[in-house]
Structure 1
Amino acid sequence: MNFFEHQSRARRNAAYRMLLTIGILLTPAILWTYVSSLIFGEVHWYEPLAVCGVMLPFVAAGYWYQIRKLKGGGSAIAEKLGAVLISDQPDEDDRWVLEIVEEMAIASGNPVPPVYLLDTDGVNAFAAGRTPQDSVIAVTLGAFYILNYEEMRAVIAELFSQIQNNDMRVDAQMTGVYSGIACLALLLGLAGGYTLIIGLGWAYLVFLAMSRVVRQRKYLADAAAAQFTRNPLSVASALKKIGGYEYGSVIGCRESEDFLQMYFAAPFEELGKRWVAPHPPLEKRIWRLDPDWDGEYPDVPPLESLMGDDEQADENLRRWEVLGAVGAAVSATRQTGEEPNAWDLYLARVALDSVCDVVTAAARHPDSARALIYRLLLSDDAPAREYQESQLQGCPDQEILHHMQALKGPMANLDRYLRLPLIDLCVPALKQLTPAQYKVLTDTIMSLCSVDAKTILTGWALVQILNARVPGRRQLLGLYTLSQRESDVTLVLGLFAAMGHRSDSQAELAYYRACDALPFYTAPRDDLDEEDTLKSLDKRLTHLRQLKSEEKETLMDAIAVCIETDGHITPEEIELMRAMADALDCPMPEGLETPSFETADAELLPA
């Protein structure tokens, strides 16, 4: 399967269908113009605008109503549907799902979202939220028992694709527009006669066109999941199990009707059979991923036979884990020699496996997560560390100090490159903090990093990363080009050049090589005053957040050139670059999504 070709085709088809939708939306104005020309023999330029002006309040009202439903973020939506936060449950059987989500998030450079469990028999999952920062992932109880590791990883990868593409926000916008159009069509229908038929027909065509846009986005998510896992048959295998399962992907929660598009598969049985359904038929999705499929669905055992504490249930579950994995396992022999596991997933797994269970468990509770972060920031220099520990004695929550003491042994000699992955793991727990507790956390981080002039910038970078992923930031409209923000670009590149290079000559070389990646001539590097730089950095960053999306990517590529000049990327450089990426709401450049690990066993690395 050519992942990139399928994604490109899905994007192109979605764009075409969006243009068709806009054309259908404007049909009343076009018809009015045509009828007016037949009756009166002339058309005034303001008549089509007047028709659009009548439509606009209805469209705006529906849009506002749908977007308002997302106001509480993904957690509010998941809780409304009855889902329960997995990390709040002590059952260790849930760990494998959390590990998959953590692995995918770290490997792709995304925030680790909270994970919910929805107590329903259908095999399904959803990603909810307005932005990547407030999104959550939820899996059903049926998916928990029916899907194997590879299939669950494929489903989670698809959900991350939906989060990255802001599918839920786009779907809510389109649903809002349709709601307004439907209300207007019903009002037109009050006149009776042909007006009712025309109004309802118009609304139906709008909904049909919008459903085709959503279907293409589902195909895009399927292809993205196949590309990310390098295993399209694992995605197809999950869909086949839904087709052969007695409950299918049915959710059974009527509140789901407000958020149909966010699900991995159709949440209602009758929905999947409709011609205007937002989810493509299972058969079409499977054949795109597995052209050699024979059309037969597997025999999936009843969910009740896999649940319970008795020996028979354990045996049934063990057999199903073996037999249910066969479909996905054959993917290695049916691919064209490509490695089934992506390299970035391997690095993420190395990162997680090199940390003891005590540390990863601490990342999942608000108190111990804060203790973990504080211990990560303790200096290797004994006098500086003693001063930091004396500052922590004034911590208002003494329970955090007990957790820090318990983590002292497990976190001894921890690789510094693991600091970012561990902070990523802490994000779901930190989202449970009150605003006052979060303010204490960020103030303490800056206080701990202020003991050494070399680490002040590191503290600032970590706070920026947390600010982007815990409370989240309001997105700013992209208005400017890099040339219009030249002074801000100069400061940032000079900062990275000075931070990661030992001598002025190395810093100068890194700066000018980074400038070569920019589409304009950049001024010579100035000597940076540390105090002035820290004061102005937040303001400069706000300016850069208003860059156009393609300009942000160019800036990140220039930064990557800057830090790679000397052939050695330090943890501090990675952290500062991640802070920039999160602040700009821009992905890390390819190859830098996950830092390299110096302690990785060389024998484990693929040739």
Structure 2
Amino acid sequence: MNFFEHQDRARRNAVYRILLTTIILLTPAVLVSLFLTTIGVAGWYALLIAGLVIFSLFALCCWYHTRKLRGGGSHIAENLGGTLISLNPQEDDRWLMDIVEEMAIASGSPVPRVYLLNVRGINAFAAGRTPQDSVIGLTYGALAILNREEIQAVVAHLLCKIHNNDMRGDARMTGIYFAIVFLSLFSGYLLLLGLGWAYLVFLGMSRVLRQRKYLADAAAAQFTRNPQSVASALKKIGGYEYGSLIGCKETEEFLQMFFAAPYEDLGKRLVSPHPPLNKRIRRLDPEWDGEYPDVPPLETLMGDDEQAQENRRRWEVLGAVAIAARGLNSTQEDPAQRYQTQATQSMIPYEAWSVAGDPAGAQALIYSLLLCVQPALRARQLTLLQETLDPQVAHFLPGLDAPVRGLDRYLRLSLFDLCVPALKQLPTDQYTVFTHIMRSLVAVDSRSLFGGWALINILDAQVLPKPTIKRRSTLEQQEDNITLLLGILALTGQRSQAQMELAYYRACDVLPFYTAPMKTLKEGASLDALDKPLKGLQQLQPEDKEILMEAVAVCIENDGHITPEEIELARAIAAILDCPMPEGLQTPPVAEDEASPLPA
């Protein structure tokens, strides 16, 4: 599945349908103005007056329903009967919070509060006014029936809605619904055209909302790197006796916020904001045979008796539709990013693992990972830390020196990922100071400049809000920045001048234009010299980003040996571009007997 193509198509189709719906909305204003002009009651400005009246009504209703979100997503979740589980999760809920944190990192979204609905149907929702006050909720049926991969897909779908701020758009759509009902009833007593107009508007708006659903599905497939997991969750809804039913009256006002239709047969209605299940599944799994899995009743999986345990064991095996679709004997290697985030816990020392969840401890751990092995350079770095370090952070540093030294370099990204949830708790000014100290440490050793820059950008992409892209550019327009990027990649990890040039020109062959000879930063360049040109690549079109990441993979894999620095740079580039790592870019296996110290 081409993630970018599906997302771009969904966005483009949504824009077209918004324009069409707007034209339908303006139809009454045009008809009224024509009627008034015909009878001589008003002049040419009748259209403007009628349009202002209709849009004023729409604006008032949208404002009213947006105001209902002022309590944030928590207010909506509590009205639905949700129970908050994310502040102090019990042991039984910890696995769900791990999934939410993983997907939040992958999507670059803040970690939301999580609610549990005591409902048997398989469903979930995202609610809130802004990404900062948004929450997600999952039903008990979803947690009981779906496997871990499928729950990851559902959570990723919800986080995409949060990232795109679809909740506020949903509230505005609801306001338009009420305004249309009022206008249609007012005119319906005089003409049946009023009801027909309302139906056309409902139809147009439903098509807009369906495209947003398709967009969230494609984004979930991107974040999980497994389209089958999204399709599998939808298939289980189709084969489950309770489907996605919620059965709560409060859902009537915000139908769009749910993962699937919360009412029976709602997804089959022509004006439903939820696409039919079969259409969503076929977009993700074109080879689907149309058969839903035979999902066991929820009651047969509950209880502690032997039969219930046997049913759960069988469902854990038979319920993994995504695995069955790939074939029991097939294997699928994980891409580098997924490998790093799921690195073996036993290879990470307990001292490092235990402090990663504390904001001060996480800062100390990252500082320790950036310290050089060479005594002279290390002494300069420690002097910098003594001059600028917060006492709480300094408290953790001595205990991390021995555990971090000699740790396999490939585990550095895993440790950085572990620190992200704690770093998100830092105020903006403290995080700015933290990254400034990181830059100072990296600048001490020119050999680690690129790797340090990569790690800083990986953290920024996961902790800071994503920047707003005001305009888009093509690969040709970014040629200077791209050639600089590929030149840096060719320089990193290669062994000879010939290998560098070969890697560079092979990567250039992927690009649709002739590229200049290889160039890199001048000796003694600072991190700031890297930031501006490479962050300009954020403006690339989605399909161009995919081409660029393919060129990155070709450059890195040229000599058949992938170094830790190359993996870190690739992760940073993917983070800056806001796109996944190439599937073919694999991380070498971590072996204790081949361990290399973290700081080169």
The TM-score, its normalising length taken from structure 1, stands at: 0.74
Q: CA deviation at 1:401?
A: 3.7
Taking the aligned partners of 1:421 and 1:546, their CA distance within structure 2 comes to: 28
Taking the aligned partners of 1:552 and 1:467, their CA distance within structure 2 comes to: 19
What is the match of residue 313 of structure 2?
Answer: 322
Tell me: CA distance 1:290–1:582, structure 2 relative to 1, closer, same or farther (3 Å): same
**1:205 correspondence with 2:205:** no
Aligned partner of 2:339 among 339, 347, 357: 347
**1:529 correspondence with 2:525:** no
Equivalences, count:
578
Q: CA deviation at 1:452?
A: 0.8
What is the match of residue 23 of structure 2?
Answer: 26
Tell me: CA distance 1:75–1:432, structure 2 relative to 1, closer, same or farther (3 Å): farther
For residues 221-278 of structure 1, what are the alpha-carbon distances to aligned partners after superposition, in whole Å with 9 as ceiling and x for unaligned? 6686598164678525742686348xx6538594x66654343334567967976443
For residues 459-495 of structure 1, what are the alpha-carbon distances to aligned partners after superposition, in whole Å with 9 as ceiling and x for unaligned? 2222222222212132212333333333333333333
**1:490 correspondence with 2:483:** yes
Q: Residue type matched to 1:152 in 2?
A: R
Taking the aligned partners of 1:69 and 1:57, their CA distance within structure 2 comes to: 19
Q: Determine if contact 2:170/2:256 at 8 Å carries over to the other structure.
A: no
Taking the aligned partners of 1:70 and 1:416, their CA distance within structure 2 comes to: 46
What is the match of residue 378 of structure 1?
Answer: 371
Taking the aligned partners of 2:426 and 2:502, their CA distance within structure 1 comes to: 44
TM alignment of 1:41-80, pairs within 5 A: none
SS of match in other structure, 2:492: helix
Taking the aligned partners of 1:147 and 1:473, their CA distance within structure 2 comes to: 34
Taking the aligned partners of 1:372 and 1:550, their CA distance within structure 2 comes to: 37
Larger deviation, residues 266-275 vs 400-409: 266-275
What is the match of residue 605 of structure 1?
Answer: none
Tell me: CA distance 1:390–1:118, structure 2 relative to 1, closer, same or farther (3 Å): same
Aligned partner of 1:582 among 557, 562, 575: 575
Taking the aligned partners of 1:182 and 1:552, their CA distance within structure 2 comes to: 41
Q: Determine if contact 2:239/2:292 at 8 Å carries over to the other structure.
A: no
Q: Determine if contact 1:116/1:138 at 8 Å carries over to the other structure.
A: yes
What is the match of residue 589 of structure 2?
Answer: 597
Q: Residue type matched to 2:363 in 1?
A: R
Q: Determine if contact 2:157/2:216 at 8 Å carries over to the other structure.
A: yes
Q: Determine if contact 1:261/1:278 at 8 Å carries over to the other structure.
A: yes
What is the match of residue 153 of structure 1?
Answer: 149
What is the match of residue 300 of structure 1?
Answer: 298
Q: CA deviation at 1:323?
A: 4.8
TM alignment of 1:222-261, pairs within 5 A: 228=226, 230=228, 234-235=232-233, 238-239=236-237, 243-244=241-242, 249-250=245-246, 254=250, 260-261=255-256
Q: Residue type matched to 1:121 in 2?
A: N
Aligned partner of 1:142 among 133, 140, 143: 140
Taking the aligned partners of 2:68 and 2:541, their CA distance within structure 1 comes to: 28
Q: CA RMSD in A?
A: 5.0
The TM-score, its normalising length taken from structure 2, stands at: 0.75
For residues 521-577 of structure 1, what are the alpha-carbon distances to aligned partners after superposition, in whole Å with 9 as ceiling and x for unaligned? 333344632445634333324533333333333333333333333333322223233
SS of match in other structure, 1:446: helix
Q: Determine if contact 1:112/1:428 at 8 Å carries over to the other structure.
A: no
**1:179 correspondence with 2:148:** no
Q: CA deviation at 1:442?
A: 0.8
SS of match in other structure, 2:371: coil
Q: Determine if contact 2:359/2:426 at 8 Å carries over to the other structure.
A: yes
Q: Residue type matched to 1:558 in 2?
A: A
SS of match in other structure, 1:117: strand
Q: Residue type matched to 1:414 in 2?
A: L
Percent of aligned pairs sharing the same letter: 40
For residues 294-335 of structure 1, what are the alpha-carbon distances to aligned partners after superposition, in whole Å with 9 as ceiling and x for unaligned? 8x65321299x65xxxxx5x9897556325425415775676
Q: Determine if contact 2:108/2:465 at 8 Å carries over to the other structure.
A: no
Q: Residue type matched to 1:301 in 2?
A: E
Larger deviation, residues 167-176 vs 579-588: 167-176
Q: Residue type matched to 1:483 in 2?
A: E
Q: CA deviation at 1:597?
A: 3.2
Q: Determine if contact 1:154/1:234 at 8 Å carries over to the other structure.
A: yes
Taking the aligned partners of 1:170 and 1:28, their CA distance within structure 2 comes to: 21
**1:514 correspondence with 2:513:** no
Taking the aligned partners of 2:33 and 2:49, their CA distance within structure 1 comes to: 13
**1:114 correspondence with 2:108:** no
What is the match of residue 473 of structure 2?
Answer: 480
Q: Determine if contact 1:130/1:166 at 8 Å carries over to the other structure.
A: no
Tell me: CA distance 1:194–1:475, structure 2 relative to 1, closer, same or farther (3 Å): same
Q: Determine if contact 2:451/2:569 at 8 Å carries over to the other structure.
A: yes
Taking the aligned partners of 2:387 and 2:340, their CA distance within structure 1 comes to: 36
For residues 333-355 of structure 1, what are the alpha-carbon distances to aligned partners after superposition, in whole Å with 9 as ceiling and x for unaligned? 67656737664498357524454
Q: Determine if contact 1:371/1:401 at 8 Å carries over to the other structure.
A: yes
Q: CA deviation at 1:438?
A: 1.0
Tell me: CA distance 1:283–1:557, structure 2 relative to 1, closer, same or farther (3 Å): closer
Tell me: CA distance 1:298–1:460, structure 2 relative to 1, closer, same or farther (3 Å): same
Q: Residue type matched to 2:339 in 1?
A: L
What is the match of residue 91 of structure 2?
Answer: 92
Q: CA deviation at 1:598?
A: 4.0
Q: CA deviation at 1:435?
A: 1.6
Tell me: CA distance 1:142–1:405, structure 2 relative to 1, closer, same or farther (3 Å): farther
For residues 407-453 of structure 1, what are the alpha-carbon distances to aligned partners after superposition, in whole Å with 9 as ceiling and x for unaligned? 45554533222222332232222111112321232122112222211
Q: CA deviation at 1:188?
A: 7.7
SS of match in other structure, 2:114: strand
Aligned partner of 2:411 among 418, 422, 445: 418
Structure 1: state its 5+ residue gaps.
Answer: 307-311, 603-607
**1:278 correspondence with 2:268:** no
Q: Determine if contact 1:10/1:220 at 8 Å carries over to the other structure.
A: yes
Tell me: CA distance 1:163–1:90, structure 2 relative to 1, closer, same or farther (3 Å): closer
**1:454 correspondence with 2:443:** no
Taking the aligned partners of 2:187 and 2:114, their CA distance within structure 1 comes to: 48
Taking the aligned partners of 1:76 and 1:436, their CA distance within structure 2 comes to: 30
Tell me: CA distance 1:258–1:557, structure 2 relative to 1, closer, same or farther (3 Å): farther
